[in-house]
Structure formats: C-alpha cells, structure tokens
A and B are shown apart, each in its own frame.
Chain A
Amino acid sequence: MSERALFIDYARCIGCQACVQACEECDTHRGQPMIHLETIRRRDSVQTAPQVCMHCEDPICAQVCPADAIKKGPDGVVHSALTHRCIGCSNCVLACPFGVPKYFAAIDQMMKCDLCYDRTSIGKKPMCATVCPSQALTFMTPEELERTRRGTAVNEWVFGEERVRTKVSVVVPHEVKEVHVNLVQLGKRREKAEPDDVAALLEEG
C-alpha cells in the first residue's frame, strides 16, 4: 500500500471554509490560516476551490528564494520559509504558479502551507483534510482514492510552456491526464450562457 497523500476534488467543495478555520488551529502557525478558499465569480456560480500548497517536485518558490529559506524534505514536503532565513522579499509569492505563498508584513515573512508537518510527520492527517465536511480535501492512499472516487488523480500541470509535477493531486474526470492552466483573456465576451443561471434554466422549458 502506498503512502497517504493529499488530494483536492473541486467538484466536492461547498465553500464552507472549515479548512481555513481549521488550518488556523495547526500548531506550527496557530492563528494564521495557510490555506485559501477561492470563490469563482460568485455572481455566476457557487463554485469554490480550496488552494493548498501543491508541494511541487521542483518547487519554483525554493528556486527563486535568494536566502535559501524554503526547503524541500526527502518526503517531498516543501516547507514554509525558515524564520531566521526569510528576508521577506516576496520572490516566492510572485513565482508560485498556484498563488500559494503569502507575505505577512507584520512579521516581514512569507508563510505557506507545510502540509501540516506537525501532524503528517507523526502519522496524522493534515487538519484541512481531516475536517473537510465534503471531503473535497482528502488524505488517503492512491489506492483508496481509486476505490472510492469516480475521477482520477492528476498531478501534472501545464502553465504555458512550463510543466510542473506536484506532490498534491487534483481529482478530475478520467479522460484528463494533465491540467492545462491558461491565461484568462480579459474583456473577451463569453459565448455560452452561464451554466448556473437559474433564469436561463427556467426559460429552457
């Protein structure tokens, strides 16, 4: 049996923010959540998406850190900046393709999700995945995931010319083998009606 890993299943997210509230309770950064809950254009949809650190195999945040403050452990966990090394330059904030690291002016330091290292290093689940009521965030083995979810886990990301592999995977339909993240073209009108438009649903009759 493989080791347990963190998976994100956006189709399950209900936007409740239990993950954000619980992340704040993690002993390494108590009082400060390291997970973000993104609302995807609330005007059009109730879709939400939790964003944790994806723990890249070759983390660009660590590559661009001039102070060598971000370390990846042998278990693949990319740790948050070490307090005594981080110089608060925000290079990592700008470089991360997932928008994860955040700069906190009050402590002049970057902070980001470290996969609840205080918990996962002793065999517990990360706080966010433990509490997530809809299990949009889940911590299990790939075999368990395959057995219990309809989708498939993908950890290959394509950002333009850049290909990134991550320790954290997303659950997507079987036909998807990698996730392409494209730039949004500002000002471009959408051609189709909004899928979640209740008025349109009523008119279709």
Chain B
Amino acid sequence: MAKLPIVTERLIEEFGPHLNTIPPGGFAPVGEPDRVVETHCCFCGQQCGIKLKVKENKVVGFEPWEEFPFNQGKLCPKGVKRYMQDEHPDRLKAPLLRAEGRGFVPTSWDDALDRTARAIKSIQEKHGKAAFAMLGGASLTNEKAYLVGKFARVALGTENIDYNGRLCMVSAAAASKKVLGIDRAANPWSDIPKAEVILVAGANIAECAPITTDYLWRARENGAKIIVLDPRMTPIARTADLYIPVRSGGDIGIFNGMLHVMIERGWIDRKFIAEHTTGWDALEKVLERYTPEHAGKIAGVPPRLIVQAAELWGPARSSFLLHARGIEHHSKGVDNCMAAINLVVATGRIGREGSGYAMITGQGNGQGGREQGQKADQLPGARDIENPEHRKHIASVWGVPEAVLPRKGLSAVEIFEAIHAGKIKGLLSICFNPMVSLPDQDFVREALEKLEFYATIEFFMSETARHADVVLAGSLLEEDEGTTTNVEGRVILHRKVVDPPEGARADWKIICDLASRLGYVNKFKYDSPRDIFEELRRASAGGISDYAGITWDRIEREHGVFWPCPSEDHPGTPRLYEGGRFGHADGKAHFQPVEWRPATEEPDEEYPLVLTTGRVVAHYLSGSQTRRIGGLVKQVPEPFCEMHPRLAEKLGVSEGELVTVESRRGTVTVKAMIVRTIRPDTVFVPYHWPDERAINRCTIKALDPVSKIPEYKICAVRVRRATAEEAAAR
C-alpha cells in the first residue's frame, strides 16, 4: 500500500462514478417481466418493501409493494431509482490487483484470495494478530455481519474489528442500553400516529427517513402536537407546532430545561418513577440548575421556547420521542441521548400503545449490523465481549475455546489512528468508505498510505478502494439473499433477485474462501446464507437480541418478525418495556444525570462559525452508490453551503457564489445556498461527496468517550468567498 496507483482522474475514467440514467433495454415500456420479486430497498434503515421487475436476469424496473406493512408502497427517490445500480457500467466484475502506474488489473479469484491470505499471515506472523484489522459495514445483511464478526475473531484472531455503524448509531445504542437496558427502538412505528405529542430531536426526517414523515403527519391529523429541535428549519420543522432552532451541541440545555420545568409544574409521573426506575434523586439534583434561562443560554435559544416545549410535552397522556444523528454525532452524543430518554422515562410514557421512544436508524442494517458481532465490543446476540458467560456461549457455538476469542478492540476511528501510528499494518474492509465518511480526511488518507497491505470487498470502486492492494468484487444486496433488521427492530428478508455478474462473487462466499485459506475451512462451511442464519439463531439464543424463534419462513409469512423472539411459537416483540419492565437485570430503567459540556472545538475569533453536516434526500451515506445514479445526481448534483442571509451579507457572498469553508484541518470549496431557514451562526454542508468536495476534510475526529462516535455535528470554521484558484481547482 502506498499512494494511489494512478492519478484520481484516471481512476475515475476507468471505474467511475459514471452516471447510469437508462435501465436495461432503455425506457421503452418493460412489458411483462419474467419475474417480480418482493424484497427491500438497499439503502437506509427504513428498509422499505419494494418489488423488483426482472427480465433476462436483469433488474429492469420496480413496482411499489403496497402489502408490506411498514411503507405500504411508499418510497423515497432513492428507493425509486435504486434499481439503476444493477447493470451499472461501474460494476466490478473481477477481482483486481493494484498495478503501480497502471491502476488496477484483473486477476483470477485464486490469485486474489491467495495474495490476500498470504499478506494476512505475513503481517500477523511479524507483528501479531492484532496488527491486522477488519472493518465491516452496517449495510451488510445480518448473515454477512455475523460472518464478518466471526471471521475477524476466529480466522483473523484479531480484536480490531469494527464497522461503519460506528459513525451512525452507537451513541443512541449506548444511551439506550444505559437507561433502558436494551439497544433498540422501544416501539413499532405504528405507535407514532397514536401519540398526543411527538418530540423530534436532531432528525431531518424528511430527508433522512422520508417514509417516517407519513407516520408523523398521521399523528398530526389525529391532533398530535409536534416539537422539532434542529439548527435548521427542516421540512418537518416547517409545520411543527413548536420549532426550536437549537444551537448544535446545545440539546442537553433543552432536555434538562424541559425536565426542570416539568418537575416544577408537577408533570412527571412520581409513581412510575418510584416503581420502575432508579437514579431519580441524583438526576433531580442536577436538574435544579437547569432553569429555562440557564438552559436557554446553553441551547442558544430564547428560554420561553423551552418552557413552551415543556408545556406541550409535560401534561400529555401519550407521547413519542424520536431522535437521530443531530443529537448523536457529538463528543457528548451518549449524554445527549440519555438526557432525551430521561424525558420519556420521567413521564412513564413508554411501553404502551401510542407512548414510546425510538432512535432512527440511519444505515440499511444499522440495527442488525451491530447486533451480530461486528462491533468492537459486542458478540452476536448483542452480547458483551467482556462478559465471561457471553463469551462462553459464543465460543461453544463457534466450536473454539473461550480463551481464543479476542477481547474488546479498537473502534473505527481508533483503528485509523492505530494505522496512522504504525501499530496496525494490514486491513480488510467490506462496504465501508472512510475516504468520504470519516472525519479529518487528510489524516485518513495518510493512514491508508501507511498500510502495508489493504484488501477490500466492494461492488463499486469506492474512493477508499482506490487505495487497495486487492479489490475483491463482491455482490449487491439483490444478488444474494439474507435478512436485515429495520428501524423498528423488525427482521425482514431480502430475496435474491438476480445472479451476480460473471466474475463477481457473493460476499459471504468470499469471506468463507478467505477463512479456508487461513486454515479455518471447517469453521466456515455454509451452503447458503440461510445456513448462516440458522447458526446466527443459535448464537443469538438467550442473548439480548434473541433471533432464536425467527425463521425465514416466518419472516415471509408474517412480513417480518420483531426481536426478541426466543422460540418459534413466540409472536416476537414489536413493543419493548410493556408493563414498565425494562431491560436491566433489575427490570428498572436507570436514570442517568447528564451535565452539559461544550463541544471539543467551539467557535472562536479565528474560526467564528459552527459547521454542521448531514444528508440530502437524493443521496445515501458516502454516495458510493447514489452518485452513480443519474436521476439522483440530477436532483442534487453537488454539495452546497447553507447560510443565513445575514451571514451571507456579512461575508459579502451571494446565492450560488463559490465559498471556501475552512477549519483547522482542511478546506472545501462549494456553492453558497442562502436561506433564512438556518441559524445565522451556523453553516451546513452535506457530506456525500469525496475528494475536494468532501466536507469531512473540515470535520474533527473528536470522539464521544463512551460510544467513540465522531463529532460530525459541530466544529469551528470560517467561510469566505473562494479565490480564483480555489474555484478553478473544483
């Protein structure tokens, strides 16, 4: 591994992203397809049901799947156009080897796998098992996620295995575990329209989880009041009953301030608190200081908005709290989430119809992806890797001594720090594109350039794959089969729609082939993903995320099954915590007192503005898939910098003009979008683009101490009109 084998322009010429704008056979009417397959979208955590039309082993179009209960045929633009990634000109159709000065050249599967296995052995013999790391993805099916975790810990024997859900859900997961005892949305989405008041915190639902908007609007039709916290007036905030333009990083001010007011006004459920919780007294003491005035200063909003929020939330009979990355992407992301959940538990409005709590999963299998054991600190079944009983159970399912299982390893960003520091020498990744998605991009690039060996399993040449020694051509979701677990905790089935193109291989087969070459053929003998799922069921049995009673047949019959589902005659668990029974051993919810603290990097004289980042509706994560689909690129072709007219005037910037956003780590030059719908002290840039357009050149790799999630939602920047050189370099 070293720098790119050829210049980026030539890599793009060969591997894209190119735009696919026309389906196989053109836009002429499809006529009768050979088959219509009921499956799911390959993108976000909503995992919408969709039917794909197939003709001559090609996906030629889609049909809404109206019978699937979660989305009932509804789709966002990404779902509509997802079929355009099949038959894509950029699709990798052979394993590739890095060739200095020439780019990448195709090779045989035997050669690619042999080289990879040799490199792994060589690095581990010289530097120890932990010197080779693995990075998985939250887009993988449960079966693949399970296999990745097992492969890393058994075949590689490394503790350094993590996944890109680290950039997404881990703060929500950690907070949920600490307060409620279980890391999962507490309620099915069907509870949302039954709530009297809904608090949406840091969730741009319209763009990041569009299908959920209908659930909110249905609640509104039923008379629900909606409160939205966001530094930007998003489409959900526009018609909210109360919109609070919180300053990024100030959310604890809102939550603690609301609870302060609710205590004063008697809007907490003291009976529920006494019977079903611990830790209230310590929390109540902390909350004394969070008067609306103090809380308003922290949140950067007028105190009356906090009082109004408490007045809406406090006296309601039923309520639902939804949060997402807006409060989670912080170096205090876990604290933010715990402060939010405290609000729910203090009213006792959880575990019943129309009352509950949910974090909104961002990535396709963000939920299941971490339950199956590819997260640094977890074994399958959402088991704790440091718990002797948990270790014993998994070791017995895997047929290895417990002592062989590695302990907790480094998280994703820490793995890159260890690579940069020369401690980790080799890396295997699958469906993870850190060259767009990790903060402080120059640091990430430097780290990749220091690796002795890097192999990746991908179906498109991602920006990170360009740095690889070996690229193993894997499979699209629809070229294989397997389960994912959606935002609600509903385990669903992705059916195989078409075969992978000749030369590409199903991901699970690639992993098993590698395990075999590393001497573990017997531990990775599977005939199919269903076979892997059967082992996963056994591994998860008795765990927190218990899939033991879930079968593929049941999933098909019942349109998904909610975990925990410990036996085949168990109906599954759409709603957790019914009857006030929480996930901790004592059955109680554990309040967590939370004090606000500043972000790692607050604005100052030199860098006076808050930068916050996020998604747009037409693109998904690092854009490796959506930046290749013509219709989506046409919808949002490039990143932009949202700023308030007052800020624009101060900077002398007009609409559409190129501006340079500068932080202490890097710069990016994008067009200005001047809108009154953002705080004047904040700028927003979406993160789906690479290279010169990657806003993650500017973001900071500060981590939450518990979840190790990066602080994408706040760092200090300055913005100015771009120079002629910067404009020309775009």
Interface residues of chain A, those whose CB is within 8 Å of chain B, are 11-18, 20-22, 24-25, 27-28, 30-32, 42-48, 125, 127, 130-135, 148-150, 194, 196-202, 204-205
Dominant secondary structure at the A interface: loop
Could you say which residues of chain B place their CB within 8 Å of the CB of A131? 64, 73-75, 79-80
Once bound together, how far apart are the Cα atoms of A13 and B238, in whole Å? 10
Could you say which residues of chain B place their CB within 8 Å of the CB of A149? 221
A27 B30 Cβ-Cβ under 8 A: yes
Looking at the assembled complex, report how far the CB atom of A54 sits from the nearest CB atom of chain B, in whole angstroms: 22
B235 A14 Cβ-Cβ under 8 A: yes
A202 B302 Cβ-Cβ under 8 A: yes
Interface residues on B, range: 35 or more
In the complex, B243 has a CB within 8 A of chain A = yes
**CB closest residue in chain B, given A42:** B675
4 smallest beta-carbon distances between A and B, as pairs: A205-B302, A31-B27, A14-B206, A133-B210
Question: Besides A21-B81, A131-B73, 12 other CB < 8 A contacts?
Answer: A16-B210, A17-B618, A25-B61, A30-B30, A43-B675, A45-B677, A130-B74, A134-B210, A134-B213, A134-B214, A205-B302, A205-B303
- Tell me how many residue pairs across A and B have CB atoms closer than 8 Å: 150
A198 B220 Cβ-Cβ under 8 A: no
- Of A11, A30, A45, the residue contacting B27 (CB under 8 A) is A30
Could you say which residues of chain A place their CB within 8 Å of the CB of B645? 43
Looking at the assembled complex, report how far the CB atom of B223 sits from the nearest CB atom of chain A, in whole angstroms: 8
In the complex, B207 has a CB within 8 A of chain A = yes
Once bound together, how far apart are the Cα atoms of A202 and B305, in whole Å? 10
Once bound together, how far apart are the Cα atoms of A204 and B244, in whole Å? 12
Once bound together, how far apart are the Cα atoms of A27 and B207, in whole Å? 27
- Of A45, A197, A204, the residue contacting B238 (CB under 8 A) is A45
A17 B245 Cβ-Cβ under 8 A: no
A25-B61, A205-B296 known; A30 and B28 CB under 8 Å? yes
Interface residues of chain B, those whose CB is within 8 Å of chain A, are 22, 26-30, 61-62, 64, 66, 71, 73-77, 79-81, 206-207, 210-211, 213-214, 217-218, 220-221, 223, 232-236, 238-239, 243, 245, 296, 300-305, 617-618, 631-632, 635, 644-646, 655, 673-680
**CB closest residue in chain B, given A194:** B676
19 contacts between A and B (CB under 8 A): A14-B206, A14-B235, A17-B77, A18-B75, A18-B79, A21-B632, A25-B61, A25-B62, A43-B676, A44-B676, A46-B235, A46-B238, A125-B66, A197-B676, A197-B677, A198-B677, A201-B245, A204-B302, A205-B301
Could you say which residues of chain B place their CB within 8 Å of the CB of A24? 27, 631
A30-B29, A149-B221 known; A198 and B214 CB under 8 Å? no
B221 A148 Cβ-Cβ under 8 A: yes
Could you say which residues of chain A place their CB within 8 Å of the CB of B206? 14-16, 134
Could you say which residues of chain A place their CB within 8 Å of the CB of B303? 205
B217 A199 Cβ-Cβ under 8 A: no
Could you say which residues of chain A place their CB within 8 Å of the CB of B233? 46, 196, 198
**CB closest residue in chain B, given A197:** B676
B210 A199 Cβ-Cβ under 8 A: no
- Of A47, A130, A148, A198, the residue contacting B218 (CB under 8 A) is A148
B644 A133 Cβ-Cβ under 8 A: no
Could you say which residues of chain B place their CB within 8 Å of the CB of A30? 27-30
A135 B80 Cβ-Cβ under 8 A: no
Could you say which residues of chain B place their CB within 8 Å of the CB of A45? 238, 676-677
Looking at the assembled complex, report how far the CB atom of B225 sits from the nearest CB atom of chain A, in whole angstroms: 13
**CB closest residue in chain A, given B232:** A198
A21 B221 Cβ-Cβ under 8 A: no
Residue of B71, B618, B675 most packed against chain A (CB within 10 A): B675
Could you say which residues of chain B place their CB within 8 Å of the CB of A47? 238
Once bound together, how far apart are the Cα atoms of A16 and B44, in whole Å? 15
Could you say which residues of chain A place their CB within 8 Å of the CB of B243? 201
A198 B680 Cβ-Cβ under 8 A: yes
Could you say which residues of chain A place their CB within 8 Å of the CB of B210? 14, 16, 18, 133-134
Once bound together, how far apart are the Cα atoms of A172 and B211, in whole Å? 22
A199 B680 Cβ-Cβ under 8 A: yes
A27-B30, A194-B676 known; A132 and B296 CB under 8 Å? no
A16-B210, A201-B245 known; A25 and B80 CB under 8 Å? yes
A196 B677 Cβ-Cβ under 8 A: yes
Could you say which residues of chain B place their CB within 8 Å of the CB of A201? 243, 245
